[in-house]
């Protein structure tokens, strides 16, 4: 098994935010989280070292709480990418396998590409493989310098490149695979003789060539995968790319998406064929949606939602942490949270499962069994159970369990005061 080093120490000044750059989110998942999960899904890497610096405590907390095979390593002061990698030397003193180095602000990288990259490194018996990409406009990227025979010579950063080198279109994608035992000595030999006065990770290429080690490049097929986040504009663009990728997958799998431009679906959401997603829906988190469902328009699924076949979630309905069985409808203006809802249930417009106690800060569950009918503008105050076949009258506030096949009603009796308006107008 290999190990990874993920560079996540940068400040991200252009984000103009108090939040660490790598903790910014797309679909409720952090940028560094996307990178860690892509690495983990290769099945090749068993341990990740995340290099932290700016707002180290918050990044450490996030990693510790969410990724059990990952540990953080502090880089202080921050003296460049080469210096960042050198921080793990004490942890890998006796390690002799492969190391993958990535950036924590590239959320679009996929496990498929990483696996292919690592497989290429192994197949070529390389000591060092750098991922490269071809850009028509390579501005701001380090250039891949090749020898006359096409072999890799070095990487030159943009600020250190001459005019001829700046014209090169093959660039450094910022991802490396190293034979750690052979390459690790370089991290004690890096110099700062460059425009930035930093220890460049890119200098390991030239060093490896000088040691007569085998250096190769793996050319990336989809340049979007190395899109780095350095501003809120970049974050918005990456979000759009990831969403388009996800929507295309669902379209290819037989899901009908009426308006892909106004629909947002998280990568973790699974949707079966013949389901229809209407415009202006936002689906985030991990969800499972069955066949022949209808979602939207203007629906919001907030994660941990399971919809069986033939479920209708209509306009302005919000669903969170809820399972809904087949042939159930929630068509209008409802909130369903922390709930279990059976089959052949009808949820009337304006229904709310009141799951949160603001005093205790505890969320409780609502259970609605099969064949239940909930009237419009009802409030179900959890914890509460509505048993099979029961009916809840419109405008009811339910605070007790309702027996099977019974009617629950809490509204005040209707009073009609005849000529009341006329009397008021005359007074």
Catalytic residues: 332
| End-to-end Cα separation, the chain, in angstroms | 88
Residues in Cβ contact with 281 at an 8 Å cutoff, skipping those fewer than 6 apart: 263, 264, 265, 295, 296, 297, 298, 299, 300, 301
299 three-state secondary structure: coil
CA distance linking residue 357 with residue 367, whole number of Å: 17
- Residue 22, CB-side half-sphere exposure with 13 Å CA sphere: 30
Radius of gyration (Cα) for the chain, nearest Å? 28
Beta bridge partners of 176: 101, 130
Residues in Cβ contact with 96 at an 8 Å cutoff, skipping those fewer than 6 apart: 180, 181
Q: Which of 288, 293, 290 is nearest to 265 (CA)?
A: 288
**Cβ proximity of 380 and 353 under 8 Å:** yes
Supply φ then ψ for residue 386, to 5 degrees: -110, 110
Strands 143-146 and 152-156, sheet pairing = antiparallel
**Which token pair is 84?**
């960042």
């Amino acid at each position: 098994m290999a190990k990874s080093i993920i560079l996540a120490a940068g400040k991200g000044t252009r984000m103009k935010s108090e939040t660490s750059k790598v903790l910014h989110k797309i679909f409720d998942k952090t940028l560094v989280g996307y990178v860690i999960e892509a690495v983990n899904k290769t099945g090749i890497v068993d341990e990740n070292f995340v290099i932290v610096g700016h707002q180290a405590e918050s990044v450490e907390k996030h990693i510790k709480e969410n990724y059990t095979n990952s540990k953080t390593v502090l880089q202080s002061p921050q003296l460049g990418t080469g210096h960042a990698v050198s921080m793990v030397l004490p942890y890998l003193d006796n390690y002799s396998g492969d190391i993958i180095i990535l950036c924590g602000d590239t959320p679009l990288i996929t496990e498929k590409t990483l696996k292919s990259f690592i497989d290429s490194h192994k197949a070529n018996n390389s000591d060092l493989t750098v991922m490269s990409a071809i850009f028509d406009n390579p501005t701001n990227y380090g250039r891949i310098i090749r020898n006359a025979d096409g072999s890799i010579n070095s990487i030159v950063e943009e600020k250190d490149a001459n005019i001829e080198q700046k014209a090169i279109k093959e660039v450094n994608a910022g991802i490396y695979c190293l034979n750690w035992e052979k390459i690790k000595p370089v991290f004690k030999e890096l110099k700062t003789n460059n425009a930035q006065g930093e220890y460049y990770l890119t200098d390991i290429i030239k060093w490896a060539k000088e040691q007569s080690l085998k250096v190769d490049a793996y050319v990336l097929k989809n340049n979007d995968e190395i899109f780095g986040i350095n501003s809120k504009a970049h974050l918005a663009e990456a979000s759009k790319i990831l969403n388009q990728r996800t929507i295309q997958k669902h379209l290819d799998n037989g899901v009908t998406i009426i308006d892909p431009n106004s629909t947002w679906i998280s990568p973790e959401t699974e949707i079966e064929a013949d389901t229809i997603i209407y415009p202006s829906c936002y689906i985030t988190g991990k969800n499972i949606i069955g066949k022949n469902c209808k979602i939207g328009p203007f629906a919001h699924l907030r994660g941990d939602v399971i919809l069986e076949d033939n479920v209708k979630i209509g306009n302005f309905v919000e669903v969170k942490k809820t399972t809904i069985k087949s042939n159930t409808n929630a068509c209008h203006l409802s909130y369903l949270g922390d709930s279990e809802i059976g089959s052949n249930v009808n949820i009337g417009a304006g229904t709310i499962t009141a799951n949160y106690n603001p005093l205790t800060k505890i969320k409780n569950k609502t259970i609605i069994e099969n064949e239940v009918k909930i009237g419009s503008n009802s409030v179900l105050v959890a914890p509460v159970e509505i048993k099979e076949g029961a009916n809840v009258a419109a405008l009811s506030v339910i605070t007790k369990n309702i027996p099977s096949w019974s009617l629950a009603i809490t509204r005040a009796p209707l009073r009609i005061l005849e000529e009341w308006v006329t009397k008021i107008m005359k007074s």
